């Protein structure tokens, strides 16, 4: 690793390859050593495994140090390339690359804000509709109870009362089906129009 720090630009790749080859060789020998340590007698096995693990840990640190050095070297080379590119570039006063397309961004932003406000309005309308449906439900339940009480007072039979309740139950399914069908149609319209 010391040779790597002091190597010049031409030989740094060779030194890196030598270090990587040495690390790979050490890893393969450590695998063999791990196999051999598992064959040790039980009283020595724990100590042998601990030493092998420590060696693996040390080699991993060497591998990490090599990667960090390579990363720093690549970053330094990239900075040098960018510096040379910047120094060799000729700037003109009216270069088209220096203009910023602001109009498109402003239009996009205003469109997003309009859509955001539109969605807020839709959510508020939906909330108001649901509140209206809840109040209508409570009103209709009260009305249904009054009608049933009046029907009982008039002496309608239980069969007629059950038919009325069954009809109300069936109407609920028709209403749910209609709402689902409306949602599907709205979804398809939105999908094909956008």
Which one, of 34, 36, 64, 39, lies nearest residue 52 by Cα? 34
* Whether the predicted pLDDT of 179 surpasses 90: yes
Q: Quick one: 26 exposed, middle or buried, by C-beta within 10 A (0-12, 13-18, 19+)? A: middle
Three-state SS for the chain is CHHHHHCCCCCHHHHHHHHHHHHHHHHHHHHHHHHHHHCCCHHHHHHHHHHHHHHHHHHHHHHHHHHHHHHHHHHHHHHHHHHHHHHHCCCCCCCHHHCCCHHHHHHHHHHHHHHHHHHHHHHHHHHHHHHHHHHHHHHHHHHHHHHHHHHHHHCCCHHHHHHHHHHHHHHHHHHHHHHHHHHHHHHHHHHHHC
Rounded Cα distance between 185 and 33, Å, is: 69
Would you place residue 100 in the very low, low, confident or very high pLDDT band (cuts 50, 70, 90)? low
Which one, of 71, 59, 81, 70, lies nearest residue 16 by Cα? 70
Q: Which residue has the higher pLDDT, 104 or 24?
A: 24
* Whether the predicted pLDDT of 162 surpasses 90: no
Q: Where are the domains of the chain?
A: 7-88+136-193
The whole-chain average pLDDT of the chain stands at 85
Rounded Cα distance between 74 and 110, Å, is: 43
Query: Tokens for 63?
Result: 């591998």
Lowest-confidence segment of 56-60, 99-103, 129-133 by average pLDDT: 99-103
* Whether the predicted pLDDT of 19 surpasses 80: yes
Instruction: Give pLDDT tens digits for 25-75.
Output: 998 998 888 888 888 888 888 888 888 889 989 999 989 988 998 898 899
**Beta-carbon count within 10 A of 48 CB:** 17
Q: pLDDT value at position 156?
A: 65
**Beta-carbon count within 10 A of 15 CB:** 17
pTM over 0.95: no
Q: pLDDT value at position 177?
A: 94
Residue 7 in contact with residue 69, Cβ under 8 Å? no
* Whether the predicted pLDDT of 181 surpasses 90: yes
């Amino acid at each position: 690793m010391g040779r790597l720090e002091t190597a010049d630009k031409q030989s740094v790749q060779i030194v890196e390859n030598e270090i990587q080859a040495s690390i790979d060789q050490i890893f393969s020998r450590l695998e063999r050593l791990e196999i051999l340590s598992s064959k040790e007698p039980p009283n020595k096995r724990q100590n042998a495994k601990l030493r092998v693990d420590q060696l693996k840990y040390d080699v991993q640190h060497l591998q990490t140090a090599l990667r960090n050095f390579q990363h720093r070297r690549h970053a330094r080379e990239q900075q040098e390339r960018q510096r040379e590119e910047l120094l060799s570039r000729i700037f003109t006063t009216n270069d088209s690359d220096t203009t910023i397309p602001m109009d498109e961004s402003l239009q996009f932003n205003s469109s997003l804000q309009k859509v955001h406000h539109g969605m807020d309005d839709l959510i508020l309308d939906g909330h108001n509709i649901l509140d209206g449906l809840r109040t209508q439900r409570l009103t209709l339940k009260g009305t249904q109870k009054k009608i049933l009480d009046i029907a009982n007072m008039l002496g309608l039979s239980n069969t007629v009362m059950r038919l009325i309740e069954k009809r109300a139950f069936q109407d609920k399914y028709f209403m749910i089906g209609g709402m689902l069908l409306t949602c599907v149609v709205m979804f398809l319209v939105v999908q094909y129009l956008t």
